[in-house]
Homo-oligomer: A and B are copies of this chain.
Amino acid sequence: METFVHVLDLIGTFVFAISGAVAAVNRRLDIFGTLVLSFVAGNFGGVARDLVIGAVPPAALTDGRYLLVSVLAGLITFFWYAGVDRLRSPVLLFDAAGLSLFAVAGAQKALGFGLNPVMAALLGMLTGIGGGIARDVLLAEIPQVLRSDLYAVAALTGAAVVVIGKMLDLSYGVSALAGAALCFGLRFMAIRHHWNLPV
């Protein structure tokens, strides 16, 4: 189980890193800027969460695999941009999977550091959306996450399921699975049917 979650976490980092690299290449950053955006998009959510709960240094900086996976995603995108671009809709699905897992894992970690339930759910959401926000801020754009397709709401829902599960004394495995599935489902439906929040 532990290993399975860790693998999913790295997949999430990889997919978010690709979103950062694609945005960087579109704005014509050089290869180095592209790698920075990859790392930021893949890891900033977790780093921000770790800073506010006091878990320093953040896991993304002590476990080298996060860096490795981010750099790999950046290099692949930079050198095979056409290929990555053609995979746009599978990438969206992976991105939804990454979001689900980050939200769930982030909420769990915040609970473990003793935050109250509401804040733990919000920090789960922050873990999921933080990377995308930092990516867009570095590109001098209003974060897409704040304007589209139930993105943050899906993350918050997934995180909330974990928190509620904890309050009901359910096992983490069950509530994480349920939370991630709900987040993924919401995001999938939002993409497919262009669901949006009122403006």
Contact = CB atoms under 8 A, between A and B. Distances in A.
Interface of A: 24, 27-33, 36-37, 47, 51-54, 56-58, 61-62, 64, 67, 113, 115-116, 118-119, 122-123, 133, 137-143, 145-148, 152-153, 196-199
B119 A61 contact: yes
B30 A116 contact: no
Contact of A152 (B36, B148, B198): B36
30 contacts: A29-B147, A29-B199, A30-B146, A30-B148, A30-B199, A31-B199, A32-B146, A33-B145, A33-B147, A33-B152, A36-B146, A36-B152, A37-B146, A51-B51, A51-B52, A52-B57, A53-B56, A54-B57, A62-B115, A62-B119, A64-B116, A64-B119, A67-B118, A67-B119, A133-B138, A137-B140, A138-B142, A138-B143, A139-B142, A140-B142
Contact of A62 (B24, B116, B138): B116
A57 B53 contact: yes
